Amino acid sequence: MASPRGEFSSRFGFIMAAAGSAVGLGNIWGFPTQAASNGGAAFLLVYLFLAFTLAYPALMAELIIGRHAHANAVSALRQISPNRVLRSIGGGTGVIGLVVASFILSFYAIVAGWMLAHCLAALTDLAGMGAASDWLTDFSFSRNLVFMLIFMALTVGIISEGVQQGIERWSSRLMPLLLLSLVLLVIYVLTLDGAMEGLRVYLLPDFERALAPGLIVKALGAAFFSLSLGVGTMLIYGSYISDRENLPVVGGLVTLVDICIAVLAGFLVLPAMYVALNSGVEIFTAGGALISEDTLIFTVLPKLFDSMGLAGIGVSLVFFFLMTIAALTSSISMLEVPVAYTIEEHGVARKPAVLVIGATIALVSTVILLNFEALFGLVIAVTTRYSQPLLGFMFCLYAGWVWHRDTLLQELRKGNAGVEHSLFWKLWPGYVRVFCPLIILLIFAQSLLE
Ligand code: PFF
């Protein structure tokens, strides 16, 4: 029977779309800069540990609930609830998730706009248009606003095309390009003077810093942000997967691709920082802390590219183009969360829903830009560091305690008839019931005590 809802047409398409959502600014802008300022390899180890032990099980909870319910997070959590109270809590969790997804998009579009502006700056450099390049790379309200709006327009354009024509088609084109460009850039950067020092920082753990207060919460937030968890994105993508797919395997592949790209981006950004340092660019304060974490790659990398002469312009173009692509495959997944809800729950057609929601989010981004110092960091911390893990905690409780275990097993059997004999089924249910919620709470309790 033809499904009235959108569905991914192939496994490759789904993996590209879900990995496209997961791989984004979090991997290439967020993770490497956090690793650089939090003990290098030590942060890497904590992040890897949390990604495999907490984020992967939480991702599976979202994918399984999503595919079972074939619906957005709000109605999916209601569907699997056995009584009224749990239905309301589930619906409420879904609604908070879609609000958080929208706020994430509101800051994400700003950062993605910077990427786009720097990408264009490489072209104006080539054309010898110095004044235009300066406007594109200097931090100003007009530049930030214009490029946030362009980026939002691109996101709106893709999402209004729907699942197969929009999300799947674009993710399958853009993701392989992203991976290829990243690998080429890493190879290039590693041949430059100073790169080995960066590699040393990245690969030799400084355990004293790994145990520093707040680091585990940061790494947890980074892992949940990186896998797009808690806000219903992965649940929605799960709802578009066909019943033939073996969910633990595709979820595992998505996790692996995401983690590999974050780790790979570390091989680019950390060595690049030290190459820049080697050629006289300041990246540390006198106290040894990194300068301006949020904008680090926008200060360090352009200087690095400048120092490479004409080749630097090409490298800059590729790098910022790649970042824009990575951001776009993630932003479409964020916008799909409120859009799918509005279409499915309120019967609105896709195009008007996308336009109205996109415009509202652009308005929120404008408010953030007008109050940048006060709001930008705050919105990032509240949405990614706190809301995402706590919402992930709720999804684990719903998958582990609220949803009937037999229905859950039946859902998994669809793509893998012998799943109850697999290691996944031996470990995951108990894991998502007890281990994940407990550890998430413990990490939060520890951060409150600090
Ligand atoms: N995972 C994306 C990244 O690493 O950049 C960010 C993200 C996408 C967060 C989608 C939340 C979301 F719903």
The pLDDT assigned to 282 comes to 79
Cα of 337 vs centre of ligand 1, distance in Å, is 12
Mean pLDDT for back-to-back runs of 10 residues, the chain (450 residues)? 59 81 88 84 89 92 94 95 96 97 98 96 92 95 98 93 74 80 88 91 79 77 91 91 89 92 91 85 77 76 78 85 87 94 94 97 98 95 90 95 92 90 92 92 77
Cα of 286 vs centre of ligand 1, distance in Å, is 33
CA 309 to chain centre: 33
- Cα angle, residue 314 at apex, residues 311 and 316 outer, rounded to 5°: 105
Using CB distances shorter than 6 Å, the residues near ligand 1 are 21-22, 24-27, 101, 104, 225-226, 228, 231, 233, 330, 333-334
Nearest CA, atom 11, ligand 1: 228
Cα of 342 vs centre of ligand 1, distance in Å, is 20
What six digits make up the tokens of 53?
A: 């032990």
Cα of 83 vs centre of ligand 1, distance in Å, is 32
- Fold classification of 11-449 (topology level): Amino acid/polyamine transporter I (1.20.1740)
Cα of 200 vs centre of ligand 1, distance in Å, is 29
Ligand 1: which of 33, 102, 106, 226 to mutate, judged by most atoms within 8 Å of the beta carbon? 226
Cα of 222 vs centre of ligand 1, distance in Å, is 10
List, as one string, the DSSP characters of 244-283: TS-HHHHHHHHHHHHHHHHHHHHHHHHHHHHHHHHTT---
Q: Which atom of ligand 1 is closest in space to residue 101's alpha carbon? A: 13
The pLDDT assigned to 3 comes to 41
Ligand 1: which of 330, 388, 390 to mutate, judged by most atoms within 8 Å of the beta carbon? 330
The pLDDT assigned to 5 comes to 64
Q: Which atom of ligand 1 is closest in space to residue 258's alpha carbon? A: 4
Which residues are CB-neighbours of 247 under 8 A, at least 6 positions away?
A: 60, 63, 64, 67, 238, 241, 411, 412, 415, 416
